[in-house]
Chain A
């Protein structure tokens, strides 16, 4: 059975009619006890399992997923990867992620199709240009790459954008991060799953965690639809459902869940080879390898777990896209969907102890956790293996809401929270 991908293995399998490929991961029955149980088989849960095994030698680990791998937000996002944040704590976190993404396909022997086509955050007024210059400075100080582009340079990179004189939001320039871009979201989940499986981690799908086993105030395992599974410690990475798990585990979180919508158009000829985001219109888009335009925007206005999105935000996002690139007005939408994301008061993630001993959390990534999957997994693995923070994750401990050390990226990151 062929388990390693290379030009040679591809050729050999091609000659054999592709009959010898091994499944990407096993589907074992859960054992009674693990050192670590991770709840949630999205990108963060799977990456955590991989780095637990690879960096810390902890391999007696199970990842428990109620549906299928990457069936949550990891498989339904708009795949933008970038580290254009304002605060040094955020740049450290997200740039670690971009750097891990840069070497990921090689590291896990699986092509995640990270395409560093660059990301532009447009500025539509002189005042916005000043803020853009401030962000570019902050990013450079934090060690991330950033350039301030003028209108002419934006036009050169993306002539399809709206440079008409009567544009409602005239383009004055942009923050450009050349190392940013997009990746293939399913491949990130599948690649980490395959790599974790090869290091001995059990991935258990179609198994829902329905409760925690708490003895003397300490978590000793999880109750699941496939029975009780004991664990030395439990890591929870369930994105939009973090509060549902918190209720079962007896801890509270400062999170609201919202639907976040995305759209994809019919395939068209090459249109734009970068990611363009306009904070003013609250919309962004890029072109996928298949030719469709992948469109995203801000959160729905109303907290919800209804995974379908609602009309006001559809109007806002699509009107914004047509403002940005009027040539798209006649392009047809193929599909539209929503995922449930968990948003924290300062729009920054929560990594740390949950408040119930034995349970650790990795959540609150809101609208932007796909780009953070490698770093989230890397840092969460460190926390689970050592019971203590890595320097980069420490500022994101939930304790910041007690001490007031918020990392208020709502304004700095340029995301429409």
Chain B
């Protein structure tokens, strides 16, 4: 099995992790009028990059969400960081 590094727990078995989505997607501001196209883009559309991809993952064991940059061809993990207020 591959191991992924959780920024809080260190290297753990890949089965403890869940892919949550691509990084950099901001939920539309629901206090304002939102077009169908904006909702569609947020809910469904994605880059689905071949190669390095910046993503949000959750370590289901500690329940922390974090950012992971991963090569989607080689499956190599390039970096992981905790999500804090600075790194959105």
Which residues of A come within 8 Å of B, CB atoms?
Answer: 241, 243-244, 247, 252-257, 301-306, 310-312, 342, 345, 401-403
Contacts and interface: CB of A to CB of B under 8 A. Distances in A.
Contact of A254 (B14, B15, B46): B46
B30 interface: no
Contact of B45 (A241, A254, A301): A254
Given A254-B45, A257-B48, A306-B73, 6 more contacts: A253-B45, A254-B46, A305-B50, A306-B74, A310-B1, A402-B36
Given A306-B74, A402-B40, A243 B14 contact: no
Nearest to B48: A243
Nearest to B75: A306
B45 A312 contact: no
Interface string B25-48: 000000000001100110111111
Contacts of A312: 1, 14-15
B14 A302 contact: yes
12 contacts: A241-B50, A247-B47, A253-B48, A257-B72, A302-B75, A303-B72, A304-B72, A304-B73, A306-B72, A310-B75, A311-B2, A312-B15
Secondary structure class of chain B's binding surface, majority of residues: loop
A305 B40 contact: no
Contacts of B73: 304-306
B37 to A, nearest CB: 6
B48 A310 contact: no
B45 A252 contact: yes
Contacts of B43: 345, 401
B8 interface: no
Contact of B44 (A247, A254, A302, A403): A254
Contact of A244 (B15, B37, B41, B50): B50
Interface of B: 1-2, 14-15, 18-19, 36-37, 40-41, 43-50, 72-75
A345 B50 contact: no
Given A306-B73, A306-B74, A311-B1, A301 B46 contact: no
Contacts of B49: 243
Contacts of A304: 72-73, 75
B16 to A, nearest CB: 11
Nearest to B74: A306
B55 to A, nearest CB: 8
B14 to A, nearest CB: 7
Contacts of B14: 301-302, 310, 312
B48 A401 contact: no
A256 B48 contact: yes
A345 to B, nearest CB: 5
Nearest to A308: B75
Nearest to A343: B48
Nearest to B15: A312
A252 to B, nearest CB: 5
A254 B43 CA distance: 9
A323 to B, nearest CB: 19
Contacts of B15: 301, 312
A312 B3 CA distance: 12
Contacts of A255: 46, 48
A247 B75 CA distance: 21
B41 to A, nearest CB: 8
Contacts of B47: 243, 247, 252
A-B pairs with lowest CB-CB distance, top 9: A243-B48, A254-B44, A252-B45, A305-B50, A401-B44, A305-B73, A402-B40, A401-B40, A402-B36
Given A241-B50, A254-B44, A256-B46, A310 B2 contact: yes
Contacts of B37: 402
Contacts of A401: 40, 43-45
A312 B36 CA distance: 38
Determine which residue in B18, B37, B75 has the highest number of CB atoms from chain A within 10 A of its CB, and name it.
B75
Contact of B19 (A257, A301, A342): A301
A402 B46 CA distance: 14
Contacts of A243: 46-50
A254 B19 CA distance: 16
A303 B18 CA distance: 10
A345 B42 CA distance: 12
Contacts of B72: 257, 303-306
Contacts of A306: 72-75
A222 to B, nearest CB: 18
Contacts of B2: 310-311
Nearest to A399: B40
A303 B48 contact: yes
A257 B51 CA distance: 12
